[in-house]
Structure 1
Amino acid sequence: MTEILTPRLRLRRWTDDDLVPMAEINADPAVMRWIDDGSVRDLEQTAEGIERCEEEWDEEGFGLFAVELLASGELAGFAGLSVPDFLPEVLPAVEIGWRLGRPFWGQGYASEAAQAVLEFALQDRGLDRVVSICRVGNTASENVMRKLGMSPERETVHPVYGYPLRVYAIDLTEYQG
Structure 2
Amino acid sequence: MKTLVTKRLILRNLTFSDVEDFYNYAKKPNIGPSAGWKPHQSIEESMRIIRMMITENEVWGITLKEVDRVIGTIGLHVRNFDNAMLNQKEIGYVIDDTYWGQGLMVEAVEAVLRYAFIDLELDKVLCGHSTANLQSKRVVEKTNFIYTHKEFRDHYDGTQIEIIMYELTKDMYLGGTNDKSKTEIRL
What range is the shorter-chain TM-score in?
0.7 to 0.9
1:151–1:50 distance in 2 versus 1, CA, 3 Å: same
**TM-score (norm: length of structure 1):** 0.87
The equivalent of 2:17 in structure 1 is 17
Gaps of 5+ in 1: 58-62
Give 1:157's aligned amino acid. Answer: F
Name the SS of the counterpart of 2:63 in structure 1: strand
Please point out which of 150, 162, 167 is paired with 2:160: 162
The more displaced of 140-149 and 160-169 is 160-169
C-alpha deviation, 1:27, in angstroms:
0.3
Identity of aligned residues (%): 24
C-alpha distance in structure 2 between counterparts of 1:90 and 1:56, whole Å:
22
Does the alignment pair 1:83 with 2:99?
A: no
Aligned length: 168
Runs of 4+ in structure 1 off by over 3 angstroms are: 88-93
1:17–1:129 distance in 2 versus 1, CA, 3 Å: same
Give 1:152's aligned amino acid. Answer: Y
Structure of greater relative contact order (alpha carbons < 8 Å, 6+ residues apart): 2
Gaps of 5+ in 2: 179-187
C-alpha distance in structure 1 between counterparts of 2:44 and 2:133, whole Å:
27
Name the SS of the counterpart of 1:163 in structure 2: strand
Output the aligned Cα RMSD.
1.7
C-alpha distance in structure 2 between counterparts of 1:65 and 1:26, whole Å:
15
Does the 8 Å contact 2:89/2:124 carry over to 1?
yes
C-alpha distance in structure 2 between counterparts of 1:51 and 1:83, whole Å:
18
1:39–1:159 distance in 2 versus 1, CA, 3 Å: closer
